Amino acid sequence: MESTSAGENIAVLRKAREMSQAQLGRAAGLSVSYVSKIETGLRPVTPPVAAACAKAMGVTTARIYGQPFRDRPLTEAERLDALRTAVRRHTLPKEDVPDPKVLARDLKKAADLRAQAQYLGLLDVLPKLLGQTTATAFAAGGDAVAWGQVADLYGCAYAVAHRLGEPDLADMIVSRQQWAAHQTWNPDAEAAASWNEAGTYQSAGHYDDGLTIVDRAIVQYERLDSNAASRAVVLGSLHLRGVVLASRHKDATATEAHLVRARDLAAKLPQTGDALLHNLTFGTGNTALYALAAHIELDQPDRAVSMAVPLLKKPPAGLKPNRIGRLHIDVARARLAVGDVAGSEESLKRAFKVAPEMTEVHPMSREVLRVLFVMHQRTRPDLMEMAKRVGLTD
């Protein structure tokens, strides 16, 4: 059975393949000491490390990180199955066309749940709402707005599958989002689908392939002759996805190139807060958050800690809990890397307060917590409480 700990999963998978720590280290480009520390919980399993170990052992990164709901009741699995059924029946919705006002209200609710990182609540409404929205689009024929609603809702579904550790479902959802986006003939919707497609490669640790998807989407979008306000949001978001992929690929040059373009595009937007379009959040605030995270991936945690000071003092306007929660998780990572154990714990507490569901299941919040718990489990009751919450201890 999979553990809730990535390090323990690596140890189990390694032993099942009769590999020594030295053999895994050579195959994954890690020292024996580092392999030992991630297996025993003295170092976090970062996304690049998970990707390297997964490749070395011939498994997916999902096997490394495990299933965050492993010890929970079956209700989550049942709700995920309902979502799978709705996604599978993408051309055969069982639901009737609802009243337009009711549909508009429910779509807004879904978008709000995603932004608030309330994934279980979103999971409750998605199956029926997907059917209703798709039925509406079919009834409307080639109406671009109706199909755009379908594409955006699949974007919400992707967020659920991604965060709840269901990569196969996420892949299927992205294909449905691309199908719906194509019906719109709207390049913004198609670019948003590409953003999520690149995300599936990011989750799998295939950073170079994800960069190819991003670069292709950027080239296609830049061919359009448009001065619409949406242009900066869409292109900027694609560049931010490129920042993550390039930094995890340890390509500092490509990371900086994507950051420069993102900052240029953000400067063209009204400085009243980040904008939200097709579930893409973009502006100066989110760009700063991505830059901070990139420093962590490029092994520059001290720079990330310095960047965090003004961001924590005055969080960027317009950012929703899913982004602010992620900021606190990244700051926890950076502070742990520079040896600020108390600061790291405090950042995790803030993440739980702002976005509890995301923090509970996010691989890196769980990994940081695992390291802190191993180091101080008997002396810090708050750590014990958080560890129980995510299933790291009984």
Reply yes or no on whether the pLDDT at 69 is more than 80.
Answer: no
Is there a single domain that holds both residue 234 and residue 288?
Answer: yes
Is there a single domain that holds both residue 389 and residue 287?
Answer: no
| Residue 198 domain flag | no
Is there a single domain that holds both residue 285 and residue 357?
Answer: no
Is there a single domain that holds both residue 84 and residue 178?
Answer: yes
Is there a single domain that holds both residue 143 and residue 157?
Answer: yes
pTM for the predicted model, two decimal places: 0.94
Q: Which of 153, 185, 217 is the last residue of a domain?
A: 185
Is there a single domain that holds both residue 311 and residue 390?
Answer: yes
198 and 210 in contact (C-beta within 8 Å)?
yes
Reply yes or no on whether the pLDDT at 167 is more than 50.
Answer: yes
At 1-39, the pLDDT tens digits run 455 689 999 999 999 999 999 999 999 999 999 999 999
| Residue 210 domain flag | yes
| Residue 31 domain flag | yes
- Tell me what pLDDT residue 1 has: 41
At 193-205, the pLDDT tens digits run 999 999 999 999 9
Tokens 């694609």 sit on residue: 238
Is there a single domain that holds both residue 19 and residue 97?
Answer: no
Q: Which amino acid, residue 65?
A: Y
What is the arithmetic mean of pLDDT over 117-124?
95
What is the arithmetic mean of pLDDT over 206-219?
97
Is there a single domain that holds both residue 105 and residue 146?
Answer: yes
Q: Which of 261, 281, 299 is the last residue of a domain?
A: 299
| Residue 199 domain flag | no
| Residue 22 domain flag | yes
Reply yes or no on whether the pLDDT at 385 is more than 50.
Answer: yes
At 132-148, the pLDDT tens digits run 999 999 999 889 999 99
Number of domains in the chain: 4
279: DSSP letter: T
Rounded Cα distance, 112 and 117, in Å: 9
- Tell me what pLDDT residue 85 has: 97
At 226-285, the pLDDT tens digits run 767 799 999 999 999 999 999 999 999 999 999 999 999 999 998 888 999 999 999 999
Is there a single domain that holds both residue 111 and residue 58?
Answer: no
Q: Which of 230, 265, 299 is the last residue of a domain?
A: 299
Task: Calculate what percentage of the chain has a pLDDT beyond 90.
Answer: 84
Is there a single domain that holds both residue 332 and residue 380?
Answer: yes
Q: How confident is the model at residue 68 (pLDDT cuts 50, 70, 90)?
A: low
Residue-range definition of the domain harbouring residue 254: 205-299
| Residue 200 domain flag | no
Is there a single domain that holds both residue 288 and residue 313?
Answer: no
Q: Over 18-59, what HEC string results?
A: CCCHHHHHHHHCCCHHHHHHHHHCCCCCCHHHHHHHHHHHCC
| Residue 196 domain flag | no
| Residue 21 domain flag | yes
Tokens 């989002």 sit on residue: 177
Number of Cα atoms under 13 Å in the Cβ half of residue 299: 6
At 44-62, the pLDDT tens digits run 999 999 999 999 999 999 9
Is there a single domain that holds both residue 283 and residue 318?
Answer: no
